[in-house]
Amino acid sequence: MAKNSLFLLPGDGIGPEIMAEVETIIAFLNGKGLTDFSLDRGLVGGCAYDAHGAAISEADMAKALAADAVLFGAVGGPKWDSVPYNCRPEAGLLRLRKDLGLFANLRPAICYPALADASSLKREVVEGLDILIVRELTGGVYFGEPKEIVTLENGEKRAVDTQVYTTHEIERIARVAFDLAKARNGRVSSAEKRNVMKSGVLWNQVVTKIGKEEYADVKLDHILADNCAMQLVRWPKQFDVILTDNLFGDVLSDIGAMLTGSLGMLPSASLGAPDAATGKRKALYEPVHGSAPDIAGTGAANPIAMIASFGMALRYSFGLIDLAGKLDDAIARVLGKGLRTKDIAQKGEATIDTRAMGAAILAEFKALVG
Ligand code: NAD
């Protein structure tokens, strides 16, 4: 059997510390014969700039393109604040997203009961929350042309960003959302602003058509993006999968993130189009947080977002749904036992470090997989 290939890009700051915890889980899975991952490692971000003078080398880009999935830690830090703009650490991530064609960004917002009090919302509003925000990642107003600031004849300046979507771009992200909903609770809420934006009118029409013609078994409703933001903080459990564009997705997914408490808990996945020959999608999995230079090297980093990102890889790239579910359960059990890294501890609560949290999750995971 061909091995499944994982390309690891730990990056800067806490990236290598949290990636190390994923590597121990992979070693356990491979050792048990439950998976057959082949691993390769590369540099991205500031460390790649130090080594190669670029935020990612061509050799590492080629490895990322060839891998079944990329696991990405985080990039950046004050050390690289003044490097040339096109070499800045984030350029490595943007290059990966572009060259891998990662148009679908998946951000789950899951509120573990043990952490419900860490949310700024009331326990009953967030406890047991499990929603998924599917954001279009490569189109819309962040990329549309013209995009410029021009000086008018009267000396005043005029800034333009252009919101553009084509039928094809909307269809492919809609299919991702509908497919995911089928494997969840069978509901998609599509958020746009059809009342004031032409792109919203087209978005609404295309999503409606795809839903009707290809996913009659999924319940589709449409919601204006501003109302969606309001409903997310009023009663988020009404949603299953939220489908939205790049701009609204940026905002809505950050609201979703804060429902759950801490940045250190939030995984994400970015997926490309299915390969014509193999049906496999290019994919990159990464925690939502950055490189946290303020705590790098102190052992205070929470590895859960990184471990849960690997869980998403098990689920979405390798179809290992049962193992992915058990990894999520292991995280929930550890939290249920009261183990906390500093970022998720309440005042006065005892805390454990990155390695102890990784080890506790691995121990629960081992118990669950038997
Ligand atoms: P950040 O996410 O790195 O940190 C924000 C705060 O959250 C910090 O106080 C940090 O200590 C804490 N935090 C983040 N992740 C944590 C974890 N796993 N466990 C415990 N605490 C955690 O954001 P920032 O401080 O704005 O940016 C720091 C650097 O990261 C910058 O160079 C920025 O450009 C970069 N960044 C990278 C990415 C990425 O790689 N995808 C994303 C955001 C920011």
CA 177 – ligand 1 centroid, Å? 28
Q: What is the pLDDT of residue 120?
A: 85
> Alpha carbon of 318 to those of 30, 48, 313: distances in Å?
14, 28, 7
Atom of ligand 1 nearest to the CA of 294: 11
pTM of the shown model? 0.93
Are the CB atoms for 119 and 260 separated by under 8 Å? Answer: yes
191 Cβ contact partners less than 8 Å away, ≥ 6 residues apart: 222, 223, 224, 225, 228, 242, 243, 244, 248, 252
Could you identify the atom of ligand 1 that is nearest to the CA of residue 286?
41
List the catalytic residues. 142, 193, 226, 250, 254
**Amino acid identity for residue 32 in this structure:** K
DSSP codes joined into one string, 21-53: HHHHHHHHHHHTTS--EEEEE---THHHHHHHS
pLDDT digits (tens, 9 = 90+) for 293-329: 999 999 999 999 999 999 999 999 999 999 999 999 9
Distance (Å) from CA 333 to ligand 1 centroid: 26
Q: Could you say which DSSP state residue 245 is in?
A: -
- Compute the distance between CA of residue 187 and CA of residue 349 in angstroms, rounded to an integer: 39
Would the pLDDT of 1 be above 60? Answer: no
- pLDDT (tens digit per residue) in 14-42: 999 999 999 999 999 999 999 999 999 99
Question: Any residues with Cβ below 6 Å from ligand 1, and which?
Answer: 14, 74-77, 90, 93, 263-264, 286, 289-295, 301-302, 305, 343
Place of tokens 């061509």: 58
DSSP SS3 for 332? helix
pLDDT tens by residue, 267-297:
999 999 988 888 899 999 999 999 999 999 9
**What are the φ and ψ backbone dihedral angles of 17, each rounded to 5 degrees?**
-70, -40
152 Cβ contact list (under 8 Å, min separation 6): 158
Closest CA to 69 of 129, 113, 22, 16: 22
| pLDDT above 60 for 124 | yes
Residue nearest to atom 37 of ligand 1 (CA): 290
Rounded Cα distance, 368 and 330, in Å:
7
Which single residue is written with the structure tokens 């925000």? 133
Ligand 1 probe mutation, 289, 306, 354, most atoms within 8 A of CB: 289
The DSSP result for 62-83, as a single string, is HHHHHSSEEEEEE---GGGTTS
Which protein residue has the closest C-alpha to ligand 1 atom 38?
A: 290
